[in-house]
Chains A and B, each alone.
Chain A
Amino acid sequence: MRIALFVTCFNDTLYPGTGKAVVTLLERLGHEVVFPAEQTCCGQMHYNTGYDRECGPLVKDFVKTFQPFDAIVVPSASCAGMIRENHVRVARTVGDRGLAEEADRLGPRVHELTELLVDVLGVEDVGAYFPHRVTYHPTCHSLRALGVGDRPLRLLRAVRGIDLVELPDAAECCGFGGTFALKNPDVSAAMGADKVARIRQTGAEVVCAADNSCLAHLGGLLSRLRTGVRTLHLAEILAATE
């Protein structure tokens, strides 16, 4: 299958390893990955912070760039959620009815990584090997906006050598929240501290998730506290082999 990768601006700049892992993983599974060079950002930060007008052109660019593709993979649940749930809304708000229709048609072809693997490609065992103690944090957008359910866990359980441990109170927000982390730094840190305590309770070496943005917040706290626990996008676990 020919799959277009929307790597997201955040991963492109800060976590290129996640994009590389998606390429490695999908190619290993026998698929062709293309990277449309015109891509930039889905507009989530602008939309969520209340900048609809600035978000409009980003939605337009995204739709134009990815329209030619049948399947688009996004290694970020919050960006995938933004595209599927909110692009049509933004197009309507800025009064572009044509764009709203195009975005509406494009939406169903956009898949978060675990959705693509389980629903579109029909795999749960991706042939990965990762001999570490790992806990999985279901990010709010993967859980409540996209509803990816237990797809990530099904994929992780099939990884050979993994010691997957359950995270207590997993469904509770980590406190990142995009610009919330800067606008309400105290509450953000307080929420993060409690999430870190839960992570430490598991004894995991690695905490993984479907969003590097939440992991940047958690990783920043874990690193500041010198916990020795590291964060990893689950794509990187699924891409790992012996």
Chain B
Amino acid sequence: MPGHHDTAGAAMPTYVGMPAFPDAARAAVRDTQLRRNLAHATTTIRAKRVTAVGELADWAELRETGKQIKDHTIEHLGHYLRLLEEQVTARGGTVHWARDAAEANQVVTDLIKATGETEVVKVKSMATQEIGLNEALDAAGIHAYETDLAELIVQLGGDRPSHILVPAIHRNRAEIREIFRREMPGVPDDLTDDPARLAAAAREHLRERFLAAKVAVSGANFAVAETGSLVVVESEGNGRMCLTLPETLISVMGIEKVLPTWRDLEVFLQLLPRSSTAERMNPYTSVWSGATEGQTFHLVLVDNGRTATRDDEVGRQALRCIRCSACLNVCPVYQRAGGHAYGSPYPGPIGAILSPQLRGAGSPVDDSLPYASTLCGACFEACPVAIDIPEVLVHLRSRAVHGRTERAAMRFAAWTLRSPTRLAFGQRLAGTAGRVLGRRGFIGRLPGPMARWTDTRDAPVPATETFRDWWNRR
């Protein structure tokens, strides 16, 4: 079923043939379990975020500062990336540049092949989800083990992530227990759906991977250009294990993640945890500069549509995103449609403006994403780097290719509305139609595309005397 989590298939679902958002969402809103899981998870985290943010008296200033740092860095991106490369190289790391997903996957595949390994452990990373690294590695005979608990659940379930921070948000613990029992080798027979038992089973399963792995792949939340330092923030400590145990570390990072200085990083280390997990500080912050003694370090800098996004004066603000998920958690559309309907590892409001820009329009789902919003503005309000998501959505709509029928209807409407006489004529027609269709004060069924309204709602009956007529008669 398109856009619907598939519990049966073991193969990693592909995004090819992903339907438009409204079609995918139609299935999701009917999925009782999904609706319940999402409503529970998002409302809980929503309330916590408000409290965590409310603790800081200078939140508005922090938000503004974060926005300005990002805008400055994106404006001078070339400069800071060269500085980062210089510093990472000086500290024994190797920097690789990848124009797109295919190039990035090739670089990582070649680096792993050079080590002779066929298994790698992974730190939770949005960049590698974006480029489809696991699938590319799979095709090259390399298995990547996700070590973040939620990513592990998604991977074992042959599923797709549906949330940036909590990829398995669409699963409840009973479902997770089933996935573990089915897919996790050596799982205890008496495994219950108690969260502590589930976590213990995952820990047992992952420990072997950590100890055996020679190569790890990570993303990065930030990179500090002045010292060539990469930063990963996390809750579980799995990332720390991957970053420190293996001999080779390969980090894949979108080019917009760079920050000029440590002072800048300090701002984001306040903004990110409070916005994402609603914590004052995340449990683990790992920072490394170049290669640690005895370890090989590679940094792969990925463009993959970011330079093109940067060229768009309105759309470029999407590059400020620090992947906190606050916009997903407050979004009423996301809460009901779920993450899979967005057809990208970036779901929710940020996905609706990021995916069409990074991938470029052209697929049914990307073309429909700018319309997957009521423009209610809750996302903008929650965004810790003040991305005006409704503004970008409307901007992307203005660049969208509209269907012929819709375009004709909108042009006709504009023509009618340009003249009070034509509008009055239209109103008289509507009034007549209303007298035919309406009964007891409402219309129960409308023809053509307007049936999309009356399928679930009654429609108001146009007035027999418009305000204009009343005013003139008065």
Contacts and interface: CB of A to CB of B under 8 A. Distances in A.
B336 A191 contact: yes
Contact of A9 (B378, B423, B457): B423
A183 B405 CA distance: 13
Given A54-B411, A187-B336, A145 B453 contact: no
B452 interface: yes
A145 B397 contact: no
A224 B400 CA distance: 34
Interface in B364-394: 368, 370-378, 380-381, 394
B380 A37 contact: no
Given A173-B378, A183-B371, A7 B453 contact: no
B353 to A, nearest CB: 14
Most chain B beta-carbon contacts within 10 A, residue among A19, A45, A48, A93 = A48
Contacts of B371: 179-180, 183-184
B414 interface: yes
Given A144-B380, A180-B373, A220 B453 contact: yes
A190 B29 CA distance: 7
The A contact surface, by secondary structure, is: helix
B374 A58 contact: no
A184 B441 CA distance: 26
Contacts of B188: none
A187 to B, nearest CB: 5
A93 B462 CA distance: 33
A34 to B, nearest CB: 10
A151 interface: no
A5 B186 CA distance: 73
A19 B377 CA distance: 27
Contacts of A182: 449-450, 452-453
A176 B374 contact: yes
B394 A48 contact: yes
Interface string A178-221: 11111111111111100000000000000000000000110111
Contacts of B136: none
Interface stretch (A10-18, A110-118, A121-129): A10-18
Contacts of A180: 371, 373-375
Given A177-B376, A180-B373, A192-B457, A9 B394 contact: no
Contact of A184 (B372, B400, B410, B418): B372
The B contact surface, by secondary structure, is: helix
B310 interface: no
Interface residues of B, number: 63
B463 interface: yes
B466 A12 contact: yes
A37 B380 CA distance: 37
Contacts of B399: 50
Interface string A12-39: 1111100110010000000000010111
B451 to A, nearest CB: 9
B442 A223 contact: yes
A186 B22 contact: yes
A46 B471 CA distance: 27
Contacts of B419: 40
B459 interface: yes
B467 A219 contact: no
B420 interface: yes
A23 B472 CA distance: 13
A184 B25 contact: yes
Contacts of A15: 460, 463
Contacts of B468: 7, 12, 35, 37
14 contacts: A7-B468, A9-B423, A14-B461, A37-B420, A40-B420, A41-B417, A50-B394, A54-B413, A140-B374, A144-B380, A176-B374, A181-B452, A189-B456, A221-B457
Interface of B: 21-22, 25-26, 29, 35, 332-333, 336-337, 368, 370-378, 380-381, 394, 396-400, 402, 410-411, 413-414, 417-420, 423, 427, 430, 441-442, 444, 449-450, 452-463, 465-468, 470-471
Interface of A: 7, 9, 11-16, 19-20, 23, 35, 37-41, 43, 45-52, 54-55, 57-58, 61, 93, 140-141, 143-145, 171-173, 175-192, 216-217, 219-221, 223-224
